[in-house]
């Protein structure tokens, strides 16, 4: 998905007409969001297979609440010393919150890209922007998701949850 988004981004930036720039730019924003969504869903599924089919809107809540609670519950069993449990809990909570915020940002932009053609993709001179979000920002969403997912998965492995 990421490669498709990058290809669409390149095409949108090089487009000769506003219509072409708008259509390819919208598609690129959309694909960067889905690349991010799929990465987060893959991570969640490794932790709890029941989280394999979440609705887009429910993902931030799963991350901020259910995922964090799953780790806290496991940590409350005394599997680590208290100071290490607090550190790991904070690390997971921060990464989960980062992912939730990233998905909210991406989903909001995706909705504009998909359902609001009256809001144009703006050409700011080699930078494209949709409703205040730069395409260069959207292109970083999957990498940010990868980093935060890796933090959570490492914590899960360290605790024996995976």
Q: What pLDDT is recorded for position 52?
A: 86
Q: What pLDDT is recorded for position 85?
A: 87
Question: For the chain, which residues make up each domain, given as ranges?
Answer: 2-159
Low-confidence ranges of the chain (pLDDT < 70): none
pTM of the model: 0.92
**CA dihedral in degrees (53, 141, 63, 150; nearest 10)?**
100
By the 8 A CB rule, do 25 and 127 touch? no
**Is 121 strand, coil or helix?**
strand
Neighbours of 10 (CB within 10 A): 12
By the 8 A CB rule, do 99 and 145 touch? yes
Q: What pLDDT is recorded for position 126?
A: 80
Q: What pLDDT is recorded for position 46?
A: 95
d(CA 141, CA 149): 12
Q: What pLDDT is recorded for position 131?
A: 95
Q: What pLDDT is recorded for position 15?
A: 92
Q: What pLDDT is recorded for position 63?
A: 97
Task: Enter the DSSP assignment of 139.
Answer: T
């Amino acid at each position: 998905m990421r490669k498709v988004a990058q290809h669409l981004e390149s095409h949108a930036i090089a487009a000769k007409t506003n219509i072409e720039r708008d259509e390819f730019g919208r598609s690129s924003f959309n694909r960067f969001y889905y690349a991010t969504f799929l990465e987060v869903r893959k991570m969640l599924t490794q932790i709890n297979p029941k989280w394999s089919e979440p609705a887009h809107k429910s993902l931030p809540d799963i991350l901020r609440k259910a995922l964090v609670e799953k780790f806290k519950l496991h940590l409350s069993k005394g599997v680590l010393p208290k100071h290490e449990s607090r550190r790991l809990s904070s690390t997971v909570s921060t990464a989960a919150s980062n992912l939730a915020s990233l998905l909210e940002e991406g989903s909001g932009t995706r909705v504009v890209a998909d359902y609001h053609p009256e809001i144009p993709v703006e050409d700011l001179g080699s930078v494209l922007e949709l409703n205040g979000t730069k395409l260069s920002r959207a292109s970083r969403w999957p990498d940010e998701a990868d980093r935060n997912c890796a933090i959570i998965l490492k914590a899960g492995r360290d605790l024996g949850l995976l």
